[in-house]
Amino acid sequence: MTVVGQISDFELKLLKVFRTVVACGGFAAAEVALGISRAAISMQMSDLEKRLGVKLCQRGRAGFSLTDEGKRVLEASDRLFGAVEHFRSELNELHQHLQGTLVIGITDNLVSHPGMKITHGLAALKARGPGVHINLRMQPSDDIEMGVLDGRLNVGVIPRVRDLPGLNYSPLYEEKTRLYCADTHPLFTDTSADITGYEVVQPRFKQPAEAATLYARHTVGAHANDREGILFLVLTGCYLGYLPDHYAAPWVKAGRLKPLQPGFTTHFCVITARSRRTNLVTETFLETL
């Protein structure tokens, strides 16, 4: 007699095949339901019998019928899959009664990103837990990193320009950036002029390594501590500035901005503290992402 140890995902898959064959009344009828050939069904059934150490069914000219052992396995599988479905229902019920607060820090001007993963994730979290309170803080990357590390923030969304040892990083999306000028800037109409001869706005927040090479080509005429500040200064017509395409798009459409040349790609990620305690609200939000 075979002693069955741990039931793996593969055994569960074979049991589902067995249950479908029984429900359909035989191998031939199960072909359509399972979407595999009769030969493949036969091989999987034989494999299951070997793993369980019992003969499950009789198949041949006399038709399909379960053995006594097969009937017992079918009854046991009913209880097994019933328990799985009960677990799923209880887990769904748990998610429907999520309670608590999600404190999330995000860098500025991501709301216009076409990916919308953060917005959709927060919406999905509220759908699962209507009672969850969301506390969203717009902060510079450095503050978000420190907030996640010391526990003031559950989650952060920042550009990945460095990795700190106490944080976990999960990729979220990419952001394309280009060099822009305003409609009152000489380069808006004079495309032959030397771009490097004009002043640029340089950000005070951290940028990808490739951005430093691009800024080195220009004369820095102004600084800004966020991207809205860069846009303000670019719209004066006195400066050039590197802006995310999704952020600049409405101004380009209105004829106020013009892209001049490619810039760089910023990789945004979700950060959590490696030492964080298990928090169902936070884990549910991360799952939605």
pLDDT at 1 over 50: no
pLDDT at 16 over 80: yes
Contact 34, 17 (CB under 8 A): yes
pLDDT at 244 over 90: yes
Domain layout of the chain by residue ranges: 9-96, 101-170+272-288, 174-268
pTM here is: 0.62
Site of tokens 């409405």: 250
**CATH numeric code, 174-268:** 3.40.190.290
Mean pLDDT of 128-134: 88
Domains 9-96 and 101-170+272-288 share a fold: no
Write the pLDDT tens digit of every residue in 271-288. Answer: 999 887 778 888 888 888
H-helix segments, 150-244: 209-215, 227-234
Mean pLDDT of 146-166: 88
Instruction: Indicate the CATH number of 101-170+272-288 among 3.40.190.10, 3.40.50.1700, 3.10.450.50, 3.40.50.1820.
Output: 3.40.190.10
Q: How confident is the model at residue 89 (pLDDT cuts 50, 70, 90)?
A: low
Q: What proportion of the chain, given as a percentage, has pLDDT over 70? A: 94
pLDDT value at residue 202: 92
pLDDT value at residue 83: 82
Least confident of 1-5, 29-33, 101-105: 1-5
pLDDT value at residue 194: 84
CATH topology assigned to domain 9-96: Arc Repressor Mutant, subunit A (1.10.10)
Provide the Cα torsion 237, 243, 244, 250; round to 10°: -10
Maximum mean pLDDT: which of 81-90, 95-104, 161-170: 161-170
Least confident of 103-112, 130-139, 177-186: 103-112
Average pLDDT, the chain: 86
Write the pLDDT tens digit of every residue in 24-55. Answer: 888 888 887 788 888 888 899 899 889 888 99
Mean pLDDT of 92-113: 78
pLDDT value at residue 269: 92
